[in-house]
Every structure is written in structure tokens, then in C-alpha cells.
Copies of this chain bind each other. A is one copy, B any other.
């Protein structure tokens, strides 16, 4: 309490209880208090008790900013994700954040909306906090971002996509393979006229890889790909409706449609029903993402479930291993390939 008066005359950080205050109260040196927090086992029980008491009495909260500056490694991890409120990434963020915070690390979050420019500015800002690690989504970055990531002395994890030839840690799955999976599933069901509807969000490049998997698989089966591109940047639900209405007007009509994600598929589902189609009898529909509503639709939506939660958990684990916060033998595993699961429901 008496410290308050003393420090209140200072220009900045007025009134804040510092390590020095604790040290004075506990009658030990500042460095011992520092050790009490960072390597408690190196402090003898008697000192530990005195420090503990002083910390309690003063309500001391360590200043992580100062610690970060002194040690050049803040207990903070930056993550840039296309969007926070989408159901897929939200689970990844949640799992990542929870795993980190269990080990005393905090999450610095920003969204890029699939824009390389926004990603770049987020990465730049994050680097200023000298983060313990940095997580970015997919492997599409601006040259400046690439440069910063390469030169910064910070472990980088790329999630969502899996791209073994790249330098950063990879935790993700093969989007190309997802397109193959979906297409094969429909081929096995006997469909021949299979269309693919792209995402309306222009920057979603991973979705294009799924499309390419579809194209390749169809060609291998001796069939002609049929890609529909919705109006750029219209709302996904709306884009799905638009695509559905356009495609069922064609003659012959497709037997099955793969949508770039579940939002598009849901819009299409409702549009199809409104048009009097009996699904999946008249037309099979597949999505991607296994959004929470997928099982609530009628017919329920056949889709591919990305390992969202697993990606978040595993990315956090690898980061923590890299930082030595979680024990391991040998090197941190750089390549982490996960799988999407095909969820067969009623719509296809």
C-alpha cells in the first residue's frame, strides 16, 4: 500500500505493483521473485513462502510486456484466419486457444477474409509483439508476408491446407483429395452428369483445389467436368440458390452437384425443393464443411467433415512442443496430414 504513494508520482505505469515492490516486501532480490514465477524449483522453500506471501499481499500481477521485452519471447501466439465467425474455423480457433491457454500462452487473433493484404498487415502487427509462434491459414501469402515469415525468428505453422514442399510446419489436409473423395462417392452411386459449384468468395483458393480434384477425377472416368461459377462475392446461401436454379434449367440436367461448401449446398437444397424437385431422387447434393446445420436439414446434407478441431489442437501441440512447453523426444513433427471424413446422409 505504501508503494502506491511512492510510485504514483512516477510519470507512467502509475500505481502498478512491480517485481521490485514484491522483492522489497519479501526482503529478497528482484531476480528471486522472477525465478519464483519462471523456475520455482530453483528457489528454496523459505524464500518461496516469503515471496508467495508478498505476492498475495500486494496483489502483484507480473508485467508480461516487460518480461517479453527482456527475454525477447512473449508468451503470446498470433493466428490469422480467413474469418472468425465461420463454423469451420471457429472450432479450430477454439481448440487452438484452449490448448494454448492451458499452458499459459495467449492468443492474438486477426481475420483476413481471404485477403492477402489484410493477412500481411496482421502478420506485421503480430510480429511487433515478438510472438512465440505464428499461425497462418493455407499457403497463399503475399510476397511481403512470405518474406516476413521467413526472416522473422519465429516458428510458423500453416494450417488448413497441407503442402509438404513448403518450409513451415504443416497441419492440415489435402483439399485436392477432398474433391476426389466427393467425386468418387458420386460416381460409385452411379451418377455421370456431376457438376461442381465454386465458392462465391473470390479469395477462397483452397476451394479451387477441391474443384481441381473433382475435375481430375471426372476426367479419369472419361467424363466431362461441369463447373458453375456464381456471381462474385454474393452471399453463399444466395449463391447456392442461384446456382441451383441455373443448373436445373439445363437439359439434360445434372444428376449430382458438389458445392464448394455447406452454405452453398443449403441454399441449393431449399431452392431445389421450392422448384419441386425430390431430393436426392431427382438430384444428389453434396457439400463441404459439415456445418452444424447439415444434419438438421431435410434431407440431411451429405458432406465432408474437415478436421477443424483436430487441426487447432495439433497445431497448438506442435507449437508447444517447439517452445519446449510440452515434452517430446526428438524433433517436432513438421508434416501433419489429417483426413476429411465423408459424412453420408440423405442428400446424396
Q: How many residues of A contact B (CB 8 A)?
A: 61
B66, B124, B153: the one within 8 Å of A14 (CB): B153
- Say yes or no: B13 contacts A64, CB within 8 Å: no
* A44 close to B (CB within 8 Å): no
List the B residue with the shortest CB-CB distance to A123.
B61
| Residues A37-76 near B (CB distance < 8 A) | 59, 61-72, 74, 76
| Residues A51-109 near B (CB distance < 8 A) | 59, 61-72, 74, 76, 83-87, 90-91, 93-94, 97-98, 101, 104, 106-109
Stretch from A191-199, A292-300, A333-341 that touches the partner: A292-300
- Say yes or no: A94 contacts B111, CB within 8 Å: yes
Task: Give the Cβ gap from A72 to chain B, nearest Cβ, in Å.
Answer: 4
> Measured between alpha carbons, how far is A93 from B79 in the docked complex, in Å?
14
Question: Taking each of A61, A97, A270, which has the highest tally of chain B beta carbons within 10 Å of its own beta carbon?
Answer: A61
Task: Give the Cβ gap from A208 to chain B, nearest Cβ, in Å.
Answer: 24
> Measured between alpha carbons, how far is A110 from B94 in the docked complex, in Å?
9
* A15 close to B (CB within 8 Å): yes
- Say yes or no: B110 contacts A59, CB within 8 Å: no
- Say yes or no: B85 contacts A106, CB within 8 Å: no
* A127 close to B (CB within 8 Å): yes
- Say yes or no: A61 contacts B124, CB within 8 Å: yes
* A32 close to B (CB within 8 Å): no
- A143-159, CB under 8 A of B: which get 1 and which 0? 00001100101000000
List the B residue with the shortest CB-CB distance to A86.
B90
* A222 close to B (CB within 8 Å): no
> Measured between alpha carbons, how far is A74 from B127 in the docked complex, in Å?
14
Beyond A108-B106, A110-B106, is A129–B90 a contact (Cβ under 8 Å)?
A: no
Shortest Cβ-Cβ A-B pairs, 5 listed: A293-B293, A64-B128, A85-B90, A12-B72, A85-B94
Q: List 15 A-B contacts (CB under 8 A).
A: A13-B130, A14-B153, A63-B128, A63-B130, A64-B128, A65-B129, A66-B69, A85-B87, A85-B90, A85-B94, A101-B121, A108-B109, A109-B109, A266-B296, A269-B296
